[in-house]
């Protein structure tokens, strides 16, 4: 009996991340591997230190390639089905860190086709609008303008279609049925789509490293089954846990339930209101009880958000944890810490987003990598 479900289109229940490693047949990112990364990056990103990125396939081979001078490239993406929230943004923040440290190309696929295909009652115009907005959000993260290509499937299709068709030829319905749970009622666009998500893993004759939430892993399993038939490398990936919803660790942030998430366009007032009202607390029912019994940081969403990303200082986080456990730190005070962190982060982000309007086209069309990509046809 599975108590949780994890597919690219459905995440349900409290995810047992250790079980997922077994189920998907991936490897833990262990101390040894972290040390090996740190040898090259000097510091370790908070999301690596805290095991947010916790599982991988072939990350060791990526490091082999890097150390041998062959190099690698990064690939990630976004399905533009709505406004982006903080949970959507963090993988891009992490990917940018990897790019900075390893000086590699980043390809970001905007799967406008897939989001249109999977969502009922959505208009193509809406998907287009969200794609533009999301691209600006991603641009605001500050990727290297010479080494980053952001593309929409619906536009870049002309440069990749022959390779997409080659990939599609190697995948049959049995496979996508087994891997993605497709049914006879699944539309033929969705059935075809895995070929589109796989193609960027073949943008270079190097290994692709894909930082993504673990729900995307099924695509890479299919890619790894077929890549070598075309003399491309099997994709490597590092999987992250999902930032829990404000409303609790068993939930996933969802754009359709705005109170579960904090969106990238929210201001301090709105952030404060949401965190106070909805952030699930591990504290006690009254101040008196809390002072006496202490809180439980393990189930406290505010603490978990600090741990995931917002308090990168290990010592400070440790102190917050201790103080909360002992009842010295009250729930309201813990929430205030998170509110300040998130507000500052988003204020800076929103400033960057305004500036990004001036250079977003570098990622899409005019930057060094973008220009090269528009001049390349993948056959």
Rule CB under 8 A: which residues touch a second copy? 113, 116-117, 124, 153-155, 157-158, 161-162, 165-166, 168-174, 176-177, 182-189, 191-192, 194-195, 379
Nearer to a second copy, 43 or 379 (CB): 379
Residue 174 or 256 with smaller CB distance to a second copy: 174
CA–centroid distance for 263 within its chain:
15
User: CA-CA distance, 30 to 34, in Å (whole number)?
Assistant: 6
Distance from chain centroid for Cα 343? 21
Beta strand 72-78 with 207-213 is parallel
CB 17 within 8 A of CB 6: no
What is the four-CA torsion angle of 164, 169, 170, 174, rounded to 10 degrees? Answer: 110
- Closest distance of CB 152 from a second copy, Å: 10
Nearer to a second copy (CB atom), residue 96 or residue 152: 152
Q: How far is the CB of 62 from a second copy (least distance, A)?
A: 28
Give the integer Cα–Cα distance in Å for 302 and 313. Answer: 16
Cα dihedral 56, 239, 43, 107 sign: positive
Q: How open is the CA angle 231-58-100, to the nearest 5 degrees? A: 95
Q: How far is the CB of 28 from a second copy (least distance, A)?
A: 32
Closest CB 190 distance from a second copy, rounded Å: 8
CB of 183 to a second copy, least distance (A): 7
- Rounded to a whole number of angstroms, the minimum distance from the CB of residue 136 to a second copy is 21
Q: What is the DSSP letter of 203?
A: S
Distance (Å, whole) CA 164 – CA 370: 19
Q: Which is nearer to a second copy, 116 or 324 (CB)?
A: 116
Nearer of residues 155 and 268 to a second copy, judged by Cβ:
155
Q: Of 87 and 194, which CB lies nearer to a second copy in the complex structure?
A: 194
């Amino acid at each position: 009996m599975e108590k949780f479900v994890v597919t690219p289109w459905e995440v349900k229940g409290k995810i047992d991340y250790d079980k997922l490693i077994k189920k998907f047949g991936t490897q833990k990112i262990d101390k040894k591997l972290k040390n090996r990364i740190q040898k090259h990056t000097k510091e370790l990103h908070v999301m690596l230190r805290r095991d947010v990125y916790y599982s991988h396939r072939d990350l060791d081979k990526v490091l082999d390639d890097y150390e041998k001078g062959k190099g690698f490239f990064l690939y990630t993406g976004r399905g533009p089905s709505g406004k982006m929230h903080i949970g959507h943004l963090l993988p891009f923040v992490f990917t940018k860190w990897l790019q900075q440290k390893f000086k590699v190309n980043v390809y970001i696929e905007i799967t406008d086709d897939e989001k249109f295909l999977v969502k009922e009652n959505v208009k193509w115009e809406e998907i287009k609008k969200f794609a533009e907005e999301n691209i600006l959000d991603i641009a605001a993260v500050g990727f290297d303008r010479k080494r980053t290509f952001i593309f929409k499937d619906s536009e870049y299709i002309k440069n990749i279609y022959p390779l997409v068709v080659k990939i599609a030829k190697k995948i049959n319905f049995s496979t996508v049925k087994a891997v993605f749970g497709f049914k006879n009622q699944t539309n033929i666009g969705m059935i075809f789509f895995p070929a589109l998500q796989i193609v960027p893993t073949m943008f270079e004759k190097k290994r692709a490293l894909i930082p993504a939430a673990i729900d995307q892993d099924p695509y890479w399993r299919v890619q790894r089954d077929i890549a070598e038939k075309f003399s491309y490398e099997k994709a490597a990936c590092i999987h992250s846990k999902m930032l829990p919803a404000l409303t609790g660790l068993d939930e996933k942030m969802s754009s359709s339930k705005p109170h579960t998430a904090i969106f990238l366009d929210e201001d301090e007032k709105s952030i404060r209101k949401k965190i106070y009202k909805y952030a699930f607390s591990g504290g006690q029912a009254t101040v008196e009880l809390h002072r006496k019994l202490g809180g439980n940081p393990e189930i406290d969403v505010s603490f978990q958000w600090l741990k995931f990303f917002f308090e990168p200082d290990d010592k400070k986080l440790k102190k917050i944890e201790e103080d909360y456990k002992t009842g010295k730190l009250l729930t309201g005070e813990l929430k205030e810490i998170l509110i300040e962190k998130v507000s500052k982060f988003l204020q800076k982000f929103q400033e960057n987003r305004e500036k990004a309007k001036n250079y977003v086209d570098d990622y899409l069309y005019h930057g060094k990598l973008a220009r090269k990509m528009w001049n390349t046809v993948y056959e």
